[in-house]
Amino acid sequence: MESKKNRHGLTRRIRADVKFAVRKRCGFGCVLCGNPIGVQYHHFDPPYADAKEHRADGIVLLCGRCHPGEGSIISHRDIVRANASPHALKSMFADTPVPGGYEAPKWVIGSNELSGNSDLDIAGAVTGKIEPPEPGSDYYRLSLELRDPDGGELLRIVRNHLRIGVGRFDIRYKDSKEHGGVIEILSAKGQLILDLRLRSSEFVDIQYLHALGDRGWVFVKDGNLHHVSGSQPARRGLGEYPRERRGAGRPRAGLVFENCRNVLIVNARSSNMEAGIVSLGSNNIVVRDFHTENVVDPIIFE
């Protein structure tokens, strides 16, 4: 499809930086209805057939339902007006109904699987519930709330209605045969915060998350789920964990949280991570920095 060209020799392939500019200007959702799922890049000024280049200000996001086609009720004038005032920027949310499934999907957090009959609550950073169908309906009802690294709302699904705040740096959506609908949210620094995968009757799958809840930090990465507890974790930028000067004063006690492959060592007083991930081998212990994964000198705990 992308190899085909218009009469000026322009292909459908749009550069990544142009796509990002379009997504941000449109509020990461369809300009007409705010739907962030399955959006398409639609040339409207000029139409693709007459375009000589891919200009960000001449392209809008439209979902499959609102994308004009033969016999469509959506007019060019509707698109021009919506481009001037995108739906998501007026409401400050990209939102859409999410199809419910005929069966309760399972929760997948990294490599951990839980029955959809179980309510989900991980440190207040990840909360979810799957309710049986309402009378007269065949569809299960999914609710999910995820926090961001500062403790604010990152993403919310309320009984099969998805809502994402448009203040995020970037929101990307793609369809995958293997993973269903994939939603990725990036921070203002361009770092991944969330990788969420949805398939109605099968799974709600969180493969990457960096979140701060009421009861501590939650990290999901490389199949591992890390929970760093603490009543008041330090609210710092993404990936920023202050380290105190080593060797100063007496050693401090630490908290250890085990998961399937690693152990996370945390300062008991501040809830800040001191060294990183400790890999337990058969004959030795290796401590690595949590973010760079470089080997570091271990900190001695009482």
**pLDDT digits over 167-182, tens only?**
878 999 988 888 888 9
Confidence at residue 288, expressed as pLDDT on a 0 to 100 scale:
52
Strands (E) located in 3-43: 40-43
The pTM of the full predicted model, rounded to 2 decimals, is 0.71
Q: Is the pLDDT of residue 247 over 70?
A: no
Confidence at residue 131, expressed as pLDDT on a 0 to 100 scale:
94
Confidence at residue 294, expressed as pLDDT on a 0 to 100 scale:
60
What 3-state DSSP class applies to 128? strand
Supply φ then ψ for residue 2, to 5 degrees: -70, -15
Token output for 108: 């997948």
Confidence at residue 260, expressed as pLDDT on a 0 to 100 scale:
35
Which helix or strand (DSSP H or E) is residue 230 part of? Answer: none
d(CA 244, CA 249): 10
Confidence of residue 4 (pLDDT cuts 50, 70, 90): confident
| Whole-angstrom Cα Rg for the chain | 23
The stretch 197-213 carries a mean pLDDT of: 92
Token output for 161: 């209605």
The stretch 210-234 carries a mean pLDDT of: 80
Confidence of residue 190 (pLDDT cuts 50, 70, 90): confident
CA–CA distance from 253 to each of 215, 242, 259, 271, 295 (Å)? 19, 17, 20, 11, 21
Contact 99, 160 (CB under 8 A): yes
Q: Is the pLDDT of residue 146 over 60?
A: yes
Tokens 């989900």 -> residue:
120
Encoded amino acid at 185, one letter? I
Q: Is the pLDDT of residue 73 over 50?
A: yes
* Furthest-apart CA atoms within the chain: distance in Å: 76
By mean pLDDT, which of 162-176, 191-205, 208-222, 261-275 is the weakest? 261-275
The stretch 103-113 carries a mean pLDDT of: 92
Token output for 130: 């799957």
Confidence at residue 277, expressed as pLDDT on a 0 to 100 scale:
47
Handedness of CA 216, 170, 177, 199 (dihedral sign): positive
Confidence of residue 254 (pLDDT cuts 50, 70, 90): very low
CA angle 105, 108, 112 (to 5 degrees): 135
Q: Closest Cα to residue 138, out of 104, 161, 106, 114?
A: 104
The stretch 269-292 carries a mean pLDDT of: 47
Confidence of residue 289 (pLDDT cuts 50, 70, 90): low
Which helix or strand (DSSP H or E) is residue 83 part of? Answer: helix 76-84
Q: Is the pLDDT of residue 58 over 70?
A: yes
Q: Closest Cα to residue 149, out of 273, 237, 271?
A: 237
